[in-house]
A and B are shown apart, each in its own frame.
Chain A
Amino acid sequence: MTDFDFPFFFNYPPYFTLQPVKETREKQVELWTELILRYCRQQRAYILSTSTADDNPLFYNRKIERRLNQDARLLFLGELVSRGNARWLDKDRRQCLVLWKKLQEWADTVYSLVRELGMQESVMTVDELSSGDEVAGTELEGAPHELLVEALKLLEAQGKAQLFSGEGDLGVKFF
């Protein structure tokens, strides 16, 4: 992981406690959602957990011994979900897919890469899109399955791809 330049508030203890006063909390939500997006974009992180068992350095500052509890994580990530910058991966909201690029942008990235590689009309597995030799060094390398599936569903709805289940893996055909 590359060094990340954390903002000042990350070292100020009360920002790790949900603020009881509405105006202050709104400001807090603003700062955290901004930080989460920036952090994930720079670290190329995709999935965050709301469980406090997870010691993600984004939610736990060892230096000042403060961490975000589950309520705080749910609130900040929930705010991102409502803005279209994230998506819950399960209905218990344990895992959250952070979309530091909007889903449509991911879909466009996938589609234009496929065209560049001349792989329309051919069938690929979803995993090939993130770990195949063709995508090495591109933006899709290392993208999580969940993200690709969401992006592909969007392309399917736009008539640019079709998803089907293959042997143990999802397959996709682009048009």
Chain B
Amino acid sequence: MGMTSSAAGNNGLNGSILLGKLDDMLGWARKFSIFQYPFITACCGMEYMSTACSHYDVDRFGAGLTRFSPRQADVLFVVGTISHKQAPYLLRVYQQICDPKWVVAFGGCTVGGGPYPNYAVLQGIDRILPVDLYIPGCPPRPEAVIDGLMQLQEIIQKEPHGRIQRS
């Protein structure tokens, strides 16, 4: 993460001092304490459940504590098809999440409408929200979800945390 342990070994501190940039430290803290808001609507929820439960154990990545209040969350997982009927509520949840916040489009439908190019379905959530990470698949396998989560951690790590300018 770009921090270095204090090289001076014999000064009595025994390497207990870390030197680095504040941004790096904030990013490191944030990426291992993801509080996710799962906006679960459809089939993808099945694989979300599988990933979150003991077998794949998303807690290993510091993302085990799901929050069902947008006020307490920092990553919005949009899991499953978003219909036009649903879209305003998704947007409202997004707007209620405090900065800094990230959005994950989980599954083909959120990425681009998936197998439903029709009147009822929003053709990708990036039509109404800024999306940070896309996890394709119909639904994505738990391994793909974990891969996506790790990439999200990379994104979070690299953010300039002191100067985030978002809505």
- Is B a genuine binding partner of A? no
